[in-house]
Amino acid sequence: ITHPADAPPHGGFRGYVADPDGHLWEIAWNPAWPMDAGGNVTFGT
């Protein structure tokens, strides 16, 4: 964990981790993001 989870001003939650090679990954969840039946998030149409 490189940055603890927080609640950004646009809603939801986010946190940051680094993999063994040092690449930074953001893990985010926002209740306003629509999900289809397969669990895929779509931004825009």
**From its phi and psi, is residue 32 left (phi > 0), alpha (psi between -120 and 50) or beta?**
alpha
Per-residue model confidence (pLDDT) at position 33:
85
Closest to 3 in 3D by CA, of 14, 11, 12: 14
> For the chain, how many residues are written?
45
Domain ranges, ordered by start, for the chain = 1-31
SS3 6: strand
Give the pLDDT confidence of 1-45 residue by residue, as tens digits: 999 999 999 889 999 999 999 999 999 988 888 888 998 988 766
